[in-house]
Amino acid sequence: MLDSWTVGKSNGNAAKNGGAKDAHPLVTGNSDRRTIVWVGDVPIGGIDAVVMAGPCSVESREQVTATALAVKRAGAVILRGGAYKPRTSPYDFQGLGVEGLMLLREAGDAVGMPVVTEIMSEEDVDVVCEHADMLQVGARNMQNFALLKKLARSGKPILFKRGPSATVKEWLSAAEYLLHGGNENVVLCERGIKTFDHSLRNTLDLAGVALVKEMTHLPVVVDPSHATGKRSLISSTAKAAVAVGADGVIVEVHPEPEKAWSDGAQSLTFDLFSEMMRNLQAPIRAIYSKREQLVSV
Ligand code: PEP
Ligand code: MN
């Protein structure tokens, strides 16, 4: 059986895989080069890691504009905000739709940041492309192949989240649909997977991030907000993500998280976001050593 190990650094040559066909040659082939995905004037996958931040859902002009200003001041370079929300229950807030897209665009333009927002349906591709610089394929849509084929033709930068129950191979194979359809502007995003342990919302697969960085030329980022579901863990897990080689992080921020219409428990306040940015800049803890002169024997 073909698995993510055997296809690792291959260039799609079936012979290398014992005759099996490589499931994601364009995603993993040629992994010695690095692809930089430009979102507006922001390069993802270059020397510096990038921080994308903003509310889970766009709720109002005041909410998204205040958040845009706060995250920009603290060092974020791309504004996030959901207008079409994939909610577990149909009774939960579903997003403001086109109005949300317009408010996000307005806030991004006001502070000079490109914007990323989720696309849930094939029907909405044109309108979302019109308002956003980058389109997020959410975890629940990772294998919506009809949507992926349409997004491949759009040519827009795609933030491609890993499904909560997807293996690395399934994730990369689904990303292959975008490249195969002609769109190489793909940023992979690990956002936590389902495991036996329910202590947190999901389990952040950091080793998977390191593995995928080895396997692909595409940028890889981490979403510690959805991965943990817990505000107090965002800063440390974001730092760990950068430490294992992630090209950036995407985090949720809200002016008053306790009043958020979605994902309040994992949303940072403005102050906590600034603290996270400082923590990301600070050096990683030194390794203790005795620093003694070695005595030659
Ligand atoms: C989100 O970014 O708000 C979101 C719903 O993400 P995910 O698809 O990873 O659950
Ligand atoms: Mn969310």
Please name which of 117, 54, 79, 55 lies closest in space to residue 261, comparing C-alpha atoms.
55
Ligand approaching nearest to the C-alpha of 262? 2
What does the alpha-carbon distance between residue 170 and residue 162 come to, in Å, rounded to a whole number? 9
Atom of ligand 1 nearest to the CA of 191: 9
Tens digits of pLDDT across the chain (297 residues): 233 333 333 344 444 444 457 999 999 997 789 999 999 999 999 999 999 999 999 999 999 999 999 999 999 999 999 999 999 999 999 999 999 999 999 999 999 999 999 999 999 999 999 999 999 999 999 999 999 999 999 999 999 999 999 999 999 999 999 999 999 999 999 999 999 999 999 999 999 999 999 999 999 999 999 999 999 999 999 999 999 999 999 999 999 999 999 999 999 999 999 999 999 999 999 999 887 766 666
pTM (two decimals): 0.92
What would the two tokens of residue 275 be?
Answer: 């603290």
What is the CA(226)–ligand 1 centre distance, in A?
7
In the 3-class helix/strand/coil scheme, how is the chain assigned residue by residue?
A: CCCCCCCCCCCCCHHHHCCCCCCCHHHHCCCCCCCCEEECCEEECCCCCEEEEECCECCCHHHHHHHHHHHHHHCCCEEECECCCCCCCCCCCCCCCHHHHHHHHHHHHHHCCCEEEECCCHHHHHHHHHHCCEEEECHHHCCCHHHHHHHHHHCCCEEEECCCCCCHHHHHHHHHHHHHCCCCCEEEEECCECCCCCCCCCECCHHHHHHHHHHCCCCEEECHHHHHCCHHHHHHHHHHHHHCCCCEEEEEECCCHHHCCCCHHHCECHHHHHHHHHHHHCCCCCCCCCCCCCCCC
Q: Whose CA is nearest to atom 3 of ligand 1?
A: 56
What does the alpha-carbon distance between residue 201 and residue 214 come to, in Å, rounded to a whole number? 27
Q: Are 142 and 161 in contact (CB under 8 A)?
A: yes
CA-CA-CA-CA torsion sign (216, 10, 139, 99)? positive
Q: Whose CA is nearest to atom 2 of ligand 1?
A: 56
What is the CA(57)–ligand 2 centre distance, in A?
7
CA distances from 126 to 4, 27, 101 (A): 34, 25, 12
